[in-house]
Structures are given as C-alpha cells and as structure tokens.
Amino acid sequence: MIKLVASDMDGTLLNHHMDISPENRKAIQKLYDYQVTFAIATGRHLNEALPIVDKYHIHCPLITANGGAVYDANRQLIKAHAINNQDVVSIINATKQFSNIFIEVMTIDDVISENQELRERELKHFIKTHHPHLTESELETYFQNKKQSLPAKFVPSLVDYITMNQPTVIKLMVFTMDNLDELNMLKEQITPYSSIVISSSHQNNLEITHPNAQKGIALFELAQTYNISMDEVMALGDSFNDYSMISRVGYGIAMGNAIPAIKNIAYATTDTNIQHGVATAIEKYVFSISDNTKHNFTLTKPLYSLNKVIKRFNKNVLKLSWVYIIAISLILLTIVQLYRSMASPAKSPHQTNSSLQQKVDMLESQLERQEQRIQELEKQLKSYRPR
C-alpha cells in the first residue's frame, strides 16, 4: 500500500506553462482525502517552489535543492546539508576561466547571482530550447512568468559575498547556453572534490550539492518522520537528479518525457508532464488497485527487484565463466520460484492473500541475499588478475 507520494516539479508535476494542471491538482487533493501523504522533491530553492505550491494551497513537506534542505508541511526546516564554503569559493573561481559558464549560489535563504543580464539571457535561451514552438509574444510572457517564479538576489561578487557572510550554501548551479565542452571540462576539474556530488536536471547544467543532499536520501529521512517504509513510497521524476529517489523507493515512476536513464530503472512509466502524468500515475497505482488485484500488483514487486538485479549484473562484463554461471543460476532459480508461487495459490481468497504475501516476502528476501552474493562475485572479479 502506498502511503507517501513524492513528486519532482519541473518536467514532472509542472506542465509547459510552469503550472500545475487541474488534473494534477485534483489527484493531489484525492491523496489528502485518502490520508496519503504528498511531498514535493525539487531542485528548486524553497523561495522558487513556494509561489506555485501556495497558489493552489498545497500543504505538504518540501525537499528542496535536490535534498539540500528538507522542510515539513509547516515550512519548518527539518534538515540542511551544506557545502564547505572554501570549496564553494574554489568552484566559483574555477568557472571564471570559461567564457560561456554562468554560476549561481543557492543558500538556505536566497538564490545569489552576480549578473542579472546573463541570468535573464540564460533563462530565455533555456525557454527557447525547450519550447521552440512559442511565438515571440508567447516567449516574452513565458519569460516574465518564469522570472517571477525564480527570484534571485544580485551581488557584485559571489566570492566576496561568500567570504564575508559565510552563508549556508546548499547548492551551486552551473549553466551554459551553447558550450557543452566547457561544461564537461569544468565537471572534470571539480569532480575530485570530496565534499560535493554533481548531478543535472538538463544537459546544459550542473547541480552541485553536499554528498548527502540527494533526493533519495532526503526522501528516506522524510519517510522516517512519518514512520513510512520506502517500500510504501511512490516517487515521480524525469531527470538525472531524480535518479536517487526513483531507484530507492518501492514504486519509482518515470515520466513519459523522462531521460532514458530514469526510464531504465523505473518500476513503470506514466504519461508526460504535459499529459498530466502525475495524475495518471496516482490514479493507477494508488487508487485503481482493487482488493481483488492488490496481491497481483504486489507480486510484481519481486519481479521489479529481480529486474534491478539483472540490470546490475548486465553492467559488468564477466569474463570468468564460473562467475557467469553462478550469477545466472541464482537469477534463474528465483524466476522458477516466482512462477511456482504464482501458479500455486491457496484455495480460499483469504488464504490466497496471506499465502501470496508470505511468498512475496520470502522471494524479496531471497533476492536481497542473491544480490549480496553477486556483489561478492563482483569484488572477486575486480581482484582477479589473469596469469
């Protein structure tokens, strides 16, 4: 049973007008009616997320800055993961060697930028790239709406501001309009920093946070406050910064417009953000599972776990035949046991439900043990040196 639904904003909950459609709003309200917790998990700052959330009186916890800051439904800060300010200054200085790189600093209080003209130019470029069908008039309207929903504080120098004020920095955002080579070069330079992790929400940006500032970790921490296990959580997203939560929850749902990496690890794929895919997924996976089909749905969970084990296995080029044979044997054994359990239900409906649930629990436990065994085999493979 799903007790918590977490949704990304841009490209997921929001449509191409940067708004929450009536269909999605209705689905969220239905979650409240059925006492299912709803949460936002976004790369945005709290100040960037609230205008849209408050517009429709959505009272929910918020994971912001990719997990850099987590707030309860009353907007009280639960947890923040800050980047070391010395590393922040070093990364800002590193961007200065590139002429086509633009950086902003997200603190617990504000989004800080040092170039308003460049920020607005980058924003317009982003809109044109992602919405080429817009006329000039529509583009300008969209731009003005987007600018209002993404407020920033402008300072003469980011380095001076960080050095003098020592703010709690929860995220760095790096953009380029047309030079991906420079972006990749910068990424290579800063990747060795141990105090950061790098993700992205679009191909032309980098999102830099503390290693613990990930949506998956933040969602786990949030679920704990509600005494909800991750198996009872559904998460929806479209971009690489959603990977950690899509892969960690019981029901990770990829949007129809999601990147392939998200679709590959997802439990299922829903409609696009323009087609109200969040509402579709909520209706299908939270509300449309009748008592007669709940356990058939539950039986897909070990298949989902099995799929993740197979994908993990396929990522490795196993050159040792004995490793290959053992790993494949473990996977085939689980498949046989799964189909046996599906083909041999108990006689009465009550017994069927109980029996199937026990078998599901047993199979999931076996899968966990088998994945541990495959991890051990991977370690042996890495340490193997042909003579």
pLDDT tens by residue, 282-305: 999 998 753 333 333 333 444 555
- The answer to whether 158 touches 169, Cβ cutoff 8 Å, is no
The number of residues in the chain equals 387
**What pLDDT is stored for residue 17 in this prediction?**
80
What does the pLDDT read at residue 363?
A: 60
Q: Where are the alpha helices (DSSP H) in 60-207?
A: 85-95, 116-130, 136-149, 158-165, 180-190
CA distances from 13 to 1, 175, 244, 300, 352 (A): 22, 23, 18, 26, 37
Question: Both tokens of residue 93?
Answer: 């200085």
Find, among 186, 169, 170, the residue nearest to 101 by Cα. Answer: 186
Q: Quick one: pLDDT at residue 345? A: 46
Residue 120, pLDDT score: 80
Phi-psi bin for 292: left (phi > 0), alpha (psi -120 to 50), beta?
A: alpha
Q: Closest by alpha carbon to 209, among 243, 241, 172?
A: 172
Determine the Cα–Cα distance for residues 151 and 343; give it in Å rounded to an integer. 57
CB 165 within 8 A of CB 84: no
Is the model more confident about 16 or about 222? 222
Q: Please say if the pLDDT value at position 264 is more than 80.
A: yes
> Per-residue pLDDT for 95 more than 60?
yes
Q: Nearest-CA neighbor of 333 among 345, 323, 321, 325?
A: 325
Q: Which of 125-129, 177-181, 366-370 has the lowest mean pLDDT?
A: 366-370
**Residue 149 phi, psi (nearest 5):** -85, -10
Q: What is the pLDDT of residues 196-249, one digit of tens each?
A: 999 887 788 899 999 999 999 999 999 999 999 999 999 999 999 999 999 999
Q: What is the mean pLDDT of residues 45-66?
A: 94
Contact of 70 with 6, CB cutoff 8 Å: no
Q: Which amino acid is at 28?
A: I
Segment of 1-15, 191-205, 351-365 carrying the highest mean pLDDT:
1-15
Distance CA 15, CA 226 (A): 29
Q: Alpha-carbon distance 51 to 217, whole Å?
A: 25
For the cut 80, the answer to whether the pLDDT of residue 102 exceeds it is yes
Instruction: Look at the pTM and tell me if it is higher than 0.85.
Output: no
- Mean pLDDT confidence for 374-378: 65
**Degrees (nearest 5) of the Cα angle 353, 358, 362?**
150
What was the pLDDT predicted at 291?
A: 39
| Inter-helix orientation angle 294-314/321-343, to 10° | 170
Cβ atoms of 241 and 43 within 8 Å: the answer is yes
Q: What is the largest CA-CA distance in the chain?
A: 75
The confidence score (pLDDT) of residue 369 equals: 67
Quick: pLDDT tens for 308-317: 555 444 444 4
Which amino acid, one-letter code, is at 104? Answer: E
CA–CA gap between residue 139 and residue 128 (Å, rounded): 7
Structure-token match 């990424």, residue found: 187
What is the rounded CA–CA span in Å between residue 194 and residue 307? 32
For residue 254, is pLDDT > 70?
yes
Mean pLDDT of the chain: 81
Question: What's the Cα-to-Cα distance from 22 to each of 8, 138, 256, rounded to whole Å?
Answer: 17, 21, 19
Distance CA(206)–CA(264), nearest Å, equals 22
pLDDT of residue 91: 96
CA separation for the pair 184, 205 (Å, rounded): 10
Residue 339: band (very low, low, confident or very high) from pLDDT cuts 50, 70, 90: low
Q: In what order do the strands lie in the sheet with 111-113?
A: 153-154, 111-113, 101-107, 169-176, 205-209, 197-199
Q: How far is CA 244 from the centre of its chain?
A: 5
Better-scored residue on pLDDT, 355 or 319: 355
Determine the straight-line distance between the first and last CA of the chain, rounded to whole angstroms.
53
